[in-house]
Amino acid sequence: MHVATTISEVREHVAAARAAGKRIGFVPTMGFLHEGHLSLIDVARADGAEFIAVSIFVNPKQFGPSEDLSRYPRNEEGDRRLLEGKDVDLLFLPPVEVMYPAGSQTMVTVGGVAKPLEGERRPGHFDGVATVVLKLFNIVQCDVAAFGRKDAQQCAVIERMVRDLDVPVRLIFGETMREADGLAMSSRNSYLTKEERAIAPLLQRALRAGEDALRRGGSVADAERAMRSACSGVEIDYLSVVDPLTFEHPADLRRELLLAGAIRIGRTRLIDNIRIQSPP
Ligand code: PAF
């Protein structure tokens, strides 16, 4: 695995792989890797990627002033070992000055789909995500890029950006990887104390309670009430039933629906979602 810290190194390695006829797959991450990230490498390979690039960059532009940028978990050595074990070809580890040199002024803003839920609670977050992802796409120039569905709204925002700005990248999405008790894997789970970790699966259970309410013929309000009552005792950011294209309340309950939630347990903010494929 080659480790690159500059844009020119990345371009050189990717150009050589492309000249050798390889399809380039890319998995952007913020590091502190877990099975969820590693599964995206498999998803890219299953899509035909023959050269895998992974980036690790804790992007300051997607953190709000009161968020966890300074304590975001890092484990560069462990991450490198995991990526070596997955036969990754190129790891891009850019310093902040490489991604945002002094004087850089341009941000990417996605419209409607970036506004509700996470967009409302984390102002500027998706501008930061869209900006860094577009920059990474321009640097790596991959054929296919893989993202995890745990960040469902992020997937939708990136999909919208790629379509609106004619970015020549095929997007693929990997399913959320879960611990045995249902907790969605996330680097931020490492913040949880033992006691907090024990109650964390309640978010997934709440989403399932919302699904049950819909399947019993309940309304969006019934489902949201069921989710809230399953989360009593913890701080709720949102627990919503939305249209997975708009992230607004669905106009039609017979279409695919997304049940999405964000809660806070202690100092840790957890998000999760489930999709309901068939009409309830
Ligand atoms: O999902 C993440 O880890 C980040 O938001 C991403 C896509 C790597 C952009 O910084």
What's the CATH code of the domain at 202? 3.30.1300.10
- Tell me if 59 CB under 6 Å of ligand 1: yes
pLDDT at 277: 84
3-state secondary structure of 28: strand
| 65 Cα: distance to centroid of ligand 1 (angstroms) | 18
Give nearest CA residue, ligand 1 atom 2: 29
- Hey, how many other C-beta atoms are within 10 angstroms of the C-beta on 235? 11
Question: Is the residue at 91 inside a domain?
Answer: yes
Phi and psi (nearest 5°) for 273?
-160, 160
Q: Quick one: 164 and 260 in the same domain?
A: no
Question: Is the residue at 116 inside a domain?
Answer: yes
pLDDT at 254: 87
Give nearest CA residue, ligand 1 atom 8: 29
Question: Is the residue at 80 inside a domain?
Answer: yes
Dig out the tokens for 101 from the structure. 């040199």
Which among 151, 174, 197 is the end of a domain?
174
Question: Is the residue at 59 inside a domain?
Answer: yes
Q: Quick one: 61 and 145 in the same domain?
A: yes
Q: Quick one: 260 and 156 in the same domain?
A: no
Question: Is the residue at 278 inside a domain?
Answer: no
Dig out the tokens for 34 from the structure. 């877990």
| 156 Cα: distance to centroid of ligand 1 (angstroms) | 13
Containing structural domain, residue 256? 187-272
| 56 Cα: distance to centroid of ligand 1 (angstroms) | 9
| 113 Cα: distance to centroid of ligand 1 (angstroms) | 17
What ligand 1 atom has the least distance to the C-alpha of 28? Answer: 8
For residue 102, how far is the Cα from the chain centroid? 27
- Tell me if 153 CB under 6 Å of ligand 1: no
Which among 126, 143, 174 is the end of a domain?
174
Q: Quick one: 163 and 46 in the same domain?
A: yes
- Tell me if 129 CB under 6 Å of ligand 1: yes
Do residues 24 and 17 lie in contact, with contact meaning Cβ atoms separated by under 8 Å? yes
Q: Quick one: 120 and 33 in the same domain?
A: yes
Question: Is the residue at 96 inside a domain?
Answer: yes
Segments of the chain scoring below 70 in pLDDT = 278-280
Q: Quick one: 170 and 191 in the same domain?
A: no
Q: DSSP assignment of 114-144, as one string?
A: GSSTHHHHSTTHHHHHHHHHHHHHHHH--SE
Q: Quick one: 208 and 162 in the same domain?
A: no
Question: Is the residue at 32 inside a domain?
Answer: yes
Q: Does the predicted TM-score (pTM) go above 0.85?
A: yes
Domain harbouring 75, CATH code: 3.40.50.620
pLDDT at 252: 86
pLDDT at 280: 54
Dig out the tokens for 144 from the structure. 């296919």
Q: Quick one: 170 and 209 in the same domain?
A: no
Q: Quick one: 12 and 75 in the same domain?
A: yes
Q: Quick one: 96 and 170 in the same domain?
A: yes
Which among 130, 153, 174 is the end of a domain?
174
Give how many domains the chain has, as a whole number.
Answer: 2
Question: Is the residue at 179 inside a domain?
Answer: no
CA dist., res. 270 & res. 34, Å (int): 16
Q: Quick one: 51 and 78 in the same domain?
A: yes
pLDDT at 279: 59
Q: Quick one: 144 and 262 in the same domain?
A: no
The answer to whether 249 is a known catalytic residue is no
